[in-house]
Structure formats: C-alpha cells, structure tokens
Amino acid sequence: MPVESVFPLLEPLLPLISKPIQYVGGELNSQIKDWDDAEVRWALMYPDAYEVGLPNQGVMILYEVLNEQPGVLAERTYSVWPDLAALMRANGVPAFTVDGHRPVKAFDVLGISFSTELGYTNMLEHLDLAGIPIHARDRTDDHPLVIAGGHAAFNPEPIADFIDAAVLGDGEQAVLEITDVLKQAKYDGASREETLHRLASAGGVYVPAFYDVDYLPDGRIQRVAPNRSDIPFRVHKRTTMDLDAWPYPKQPLVPLAETVHERMSVEIFRGCTRGCRFCQAGMITRPVRERSITGIGEMVETGLKASGYEEVGLLSLSSADHSEIGDIAKGLADRYEGTQTSLSLPSTRVDAFNIDLAQELSRNGRRSGLTFAPEGGSERLRKVINKMVSKDDLVKTVTTAYGAGWRQVKLYFMCGLPTETDEDVLEIADMAREVIRVGRQVTGTRDVRCTVSIGGFVPKPHTPFQWASQLDAETTDRRLKLLRDAINADKSTAKAIGYRYHDGKPGIVEGLLSRGDRRIGAVIEQVWRDGGIFDGWREHFSYERWMSAASAIGIDVGWYTTREREENEVLPWDHLDSGLDKEWLWADWQEALDETELDDCRWIPCFDCGVCPQMGTEIQIGPTGAKLLPLSVV
C-alpha cells in the first residue's frame, strides 16, 4: 500500500517556526523512490538538527549505497527543533523524512548514526514523535527495527532498552547484508524476534535483548552472556578494507539551508595508528586503509560536477598522514589551478605539517588559518597521551607558517587528561605566548593571532584510558580559569591570544553515557521525560537536569565517571569486539602511567594490538613504509 506524505499537515506549521527551510527537502542529489517498488525501506537518522546532520558523511554514504540497490529505498530524517516538535504533537503530525515526508513509523528500519552520546535523548524524542514505543520490548511486528551505528554505538549498553540492534564499525557492507536478511525475513513471514535472531546469529549485529547482564553486590558487572545457545558471546566490528571499491558519496547532498560545513568532502583514508591514547576514533577504526590517488581524484571530479561546491575537504583522522599526500595535493592543485575550487585538510598534526603541502593547498583558493592539536599542555603530559609533539616542533612549524604568509594559528587542547596537574595546564599559556613571539619576530608585525581552544577530557571505551578516572567538573573549571588568568596576565600578548573553552559539566554527562551500562538507560529516559533534548547544544543542555534524574533513580554519577577501574573489572562493552586486545589496551595504559611513548606502527614492527590478524592481514615493512597485505601473500 502507498504511504502518504505528511507534508499537507506539516506545511501550515512551517510559517510558525524558525528555519522552516530545513524541513522541506528537495536538496540537490536527494532521492525519492517509489514506495511500492521497494521491498526494504530504510529511514536514516542523524540525531541532531538538520544543519549538523546533513553534512554527516556516514549518513550520506549509506543513503547513496542503499538507494543504488534495486528494491531498496532510503530516506533521511533529522531531529526537529522544540518549536516544531510542540506543534507536531498538538496537530498530530508524526516524525517524518525530509525526502518524501513519509512517516518514520512506516519504514522497515530506523537506522540512527551516533557520533556522540549526547544524541541519545534526541533519539527518544524522535521515537515518541514517530509513534514508535521508546522501549524495544514494547514494539510489535508493525514497528520498524531501530538499529544504532556510529562511533557512540561501540558501547550501546546505556541505550540497550531503546534499540533493537547495533552495528559496530563500517556500515557500507553491513547495511546491504542487513537488507538481504530483512528481505528474506519478509518473504518468509518471519516475526520481529525471528528477524532479529537471524541478524544476531552470524555475529555481525548486536541485539541487546539476546544478552543478559549479571552484577556483583558492589555494582560492578559479573558477566554479560547470551541467553540463547546459538548467539555468539562476542560481536565483532565491521571493517571495509578496500575503500576504492566504495567511492561514496558520488553525488553529495547540497543543502538548501545553511549547515555547519559548506563543502564537498572526500575521505582519503580510514583508520589511524598514531596511537593517541585518548582517541577512541583512532583506536576503533584500525587498521589504516588508504584510498588510491586515482580513486581520490575521480571522487573529487565526480563530486564537484554533481554538487557545484567550490571547496573540497580531504578528510581523515590525520589527513597529512596519507603516504602519498604530497602527490595528492599537487595533483589536485594542478588540476584545479585557475578555477574557484579550493582544497583543505581539516585535520593536520604538527609533526605531519609540511609547508610545501600547505602552499599547494592554498594555491588555488583562500588561505585560511592553520589548526593544530597538541592536546596536552606539557611535554610530560604529551608523553602520557602518546601525542609525540614537542614544544620545539610546534614553534618550528608555526615559524615556518608565519614566514610563508599565514597570520593565524589555532591550537586545541584537553583539560583533565590522566595524571594532569595545574602546572601542565598552565604551560599552554607559555606555548601560546611563544607562538605569538615567534610570529611577530618572523613577520616583523604585531598582526599575528593565536587562538587556544580547550575542553574537558572524557575517557572512552576501547581506548587505553577506558580504566582512567575522569576529572570532576569543579576541578576542570578551576584549571580552565587558571589558564585564562595566565593568558591575560601578560599584557604584551594577551590581546593577540584568543581563548575558547568548554566548561566541565557537559563532559561529566558525556562520561556517564560513554562508559555507562544498562542501568543508565533509566537516567536517559528520565532526562528526556523532564524535557531534555539537544544536549549537545549549550542553550538546551542542563547539568542540573541530568544530576537530578540520576539522583532520583539512585545512580551515583561519580561511580561511572571519576572512579578508576581495576584491570580485571568486566567493562560494559567487553563483549563487543573493536578488534583491540584488552590485554594490549591495559599494557598501553600502564605505559601511559610510566610516560612511555609508542611509535606509529605503520612504519615500524607491529605492537600486536590485535587488529591486523582479525582482518586477515599482516604488516609488511618495505622501502616506502608499511603496507597491509593478505595473510596468503606474506
């Protein structure tokens, strides 16, 4: 049966709200496929506002991958602002997709991509607006399967009550395999439970309902085990090894409304082996998989023609680490010289920065400020976090940049890293002053700027710091104030140094959600029922609401955040395999406490983290560095 658009009900509400254009759809390269021709229908959600969600690469890729398949339909849905949500409830308008404005409840799957845990309350709001029971146990065969993905799904236990399933890792192949299972299940007339069983039994999809959690008297987890004999004890992440085989997006979406990123993006490689101990993204996306120069060039050309964008972002966790980045940058700069197309590397390490590379990237377009992330304020602390960047490295880099014509540098740091002291944080002020000093010396002018941006550190699952104590909000805020005062104390440089900081309270809530277990679900639900949504937005976030909800439910927030874990404690995510050996992570945690650095394993012998053997590959060191090779080759 056809599913009618809700737009006739929605349209009269649009003049009554802010930014109505974000709900109308019709973007360049969006798709609306025939409902009746589809056997499996996906609603893909990014649980934040349209302006944040539309540029998200993960959703954009899956949208295109699914819609390329015959008999498969995919549409997008985003969180709606409170002004529209209130009107939708008052006028009986359900949550909808922006493509066909079809009710989310009518789809077979609601796939939600979580980049951050602060989107959890937005998920509950959307489920409620859609008319889908927020608890998975209350859903029937008439409701879509709710499947979580993204980096925050590597510990989905806090939302285990609300999702039907989770997928760990890369989604390109996973969504197609899930689609095939759903297609066969619908053909067989399988029930919801049977369909979930088919997804879970192969070990590539996590269904929380098929796992039971037992607790010790002191509140720690005793074990997490499947409650069916044919369900695996561990669920493994999905890894797309050949990125050239998945050149998406081919037709990037071009928004009608303003979004946070107004550019076309090409992911030049995936994964990172730098080994920064705080970085969950670097740990869970191993191994490194590079896209070829040819593949990158073809993606840029295709995407520009399809979108009309004038800026191309070359994306990865550290884009300058691509083994052929110099040739990539020169080739693209040559190709688009004399056009309006500009190139950018949104993420660059201090020790990977090359002035020739920067000159190539700025040859055809605007010369923006340079951004670097030393992360830790002192040399000692950077050894703890394995961020092998010295103050001398930074000074040399910015000296070269200022000498080549740049006038603005941004530096990113974290406050509350393990073993940190007040003195470690105060060294950030010294570093910023030195940056200004050398900038003035090299340029012969006072017209140079340095912006210091800093926020609270949150320990994450599947990293060496997953056992660490998180710094409490009060101490974080005190240190941030100390740093501000230290920057302002030197009148000769204070006006040249910008200072941006995020207070410690949102980090405590993020810490509760990132390392929480299933008992935290009740807190999330209570916060949502108390009006909590858009927790990633300063104007909507309420620390008091979260603390009040936790207190009412009997949850000790400090037990989940500021408590250090022991080596043998069962962690809520231990049954979810990111590819990293827990023993290796613990050993690296001990190395951190000893202030011992580890080199990038792409270019030296393997540290045996556990990832490569599971991928069916081994590292081979050659004259141009390390390459991942199939085991059959080596």
pLDDT digits (tens, 9 = 90+) for 531-567: 999 999 999 999 999 999 999 999 999 999 999 999 9
Is the pLDDT at 621 greater than 60? The verdict is no
Taking the C-alpha atoms of residue 377 and residue 366, their distance in angstroms, rounded to an integer, is: 30
Is residue 629 very low, low, confident or very high in pLDDT (cuts 50, 70, 90)?
very low
Whole-number Å distance between alpha carbons of 89 and 212: 36
Output phi, psi for 269, to 5 deg: -160, 165
Count Cβ atoms below 10 Å from residue 197 Cβ, excluding itself.
18
pLDDT in tens, 244-256: 999 999 999 999 8
Residue 629 phi, psi (nearest 5): -125, 145
DSSP category for residue 438:
H
Q: 């009608």: which residue's tokens?
A: 256
Judge contact between 439 and 402, C-beta under 8 A. yes
The three-state secondary structure class of 20 is helix
Question: What are the structural domains, with CATH classification, of the chain?
Answer: 7-229 (3.40.50.280), 603-634 (no CATH)
Contacts of the segment 31-34: beta carbons below 8 A, 24+ positions apart: 31/63, 31/67, 31/74, 31/99, 32/75, 32/99, 32/100, 33/67, 33/73, 34/73
The predicted structure's pLDDT at residue 338: 84
User: How many angstroms separate the CA atoms of 436 and 398, rounded?
Assistant: 9
pLDDT at 614 over 80: no
Q: Which pLDDT belongs to residue 367?
A: 63
Pick the more confident residue, 609 or 199: 199
Tell me the pLDDT band of 502, cut-offs 50, 70 and 90: confident
What pLDDT is stored for residue 241 in this prediction?
Answer: 95
pLDDT (mean) for 401-420: 91
pLDDT value of residue 368: 63
Identify whether the C-beta of residue 158 lies closer than 8 Å to the C-beta of residue 524.
Answer: yes
User: 613 falls in which pLDDT band (50, 70, 90)?
Assistant: low
Q: In this model, does residue 69 exceed pLDDT 90?
A: yes
Amino acid type, 71: G
Least confident window among 211-220, 292-301, 592-601, 622-631 = 622-631
pLDDT digits (tens, 9 = 90+) for 45-61: 999 999 999 999 999 99
| Reported confidence tier of residue 603, pLDDT bands at 50, 70, 90 | confident
| pLDDT (0 to 100) of residue 366 | 62
